[in-house]
């Protein structure tokens, strides 16, 4: 990783440059599945501020360990709280179930 990326201030990674709309800007980071959840946990562990973090997963256990502000389980009746096994069809059906 470059030194430039390591020197970013951790207090506020996202900077609103349009002062007129500063109070209107809302940044949400949505992590989907295990990889998305891991990415969110890493961002939070690194102290990233200025965004709301949302984790979306079929795996109830993975959601319990998530540090996201909001955790949403989908497809509970399809996966019975387990992961989708990297099967996009199961993920798709799970998303449709909880549309």
DSSP assigned state of 54: E
CATH code of 45's domain: 3.40.50.1440
Task: Enumerate the H helices of 7-75 as residue ranges.
Answer: 33-45, 60-64
Rounded to two decimals, the pTM is 0.74
Is beta strand 70-73 parallel, antiparallel or unpaired with respect to 52-57? parallel
Range of weakest confidence among 23-27, 39-43, 48-52, 84-88: 23-27
Domain membership flag for residue 66: yes
pLDDT, tens only, 11-32? 556 666 777 766 777 899 999 9
Query: What gap in Å lies between CA 10 and CA 82, rounded to an integer?
Result: 34
Range of weakest confidence among 18-27, 40-49, 81-90: 18-27
pLDDT band at 1 (very low <50, low <70, confident <90, very high): very low
Closest CA to 73 of 89, 95, 53, 51: 95
- Domains: count for the chain: 1
Helix (H, G, I), strand (E, B) or coil at 32: strand
User: What per-residue confidence (pLDDT) applies to 21?
Assistant: 65
Residue showing tokens 């959840």:
37
Domain membership flag for residue 61: yes
**Structural domain for 56, as ranges:** 26-97
pLDDT band at 33 (very low <50, low <70, confident <90, very high): very high
């Amino acid at each position: 990783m470059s030194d430039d990326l390591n020197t970013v201030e951790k207090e506020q990674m996202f900077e609103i440059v349009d002062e007129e709309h500063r109070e209107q800007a809302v940044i949400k980071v949505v992590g989907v599945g295990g990889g998305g959840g891991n990415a969110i946990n890493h961002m939070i562990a690194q102290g990233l501020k200025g965004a709301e973090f949302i984790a979306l997963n079929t795996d109830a256990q993975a959601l319990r360990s998530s540090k996201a502000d909001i955790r949403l389980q989908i497809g509970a009746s399809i996966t019975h709280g387990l992961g989708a096994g990297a099967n996009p069809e199961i993920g798709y059906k799970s998303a449709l179930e909880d549309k």
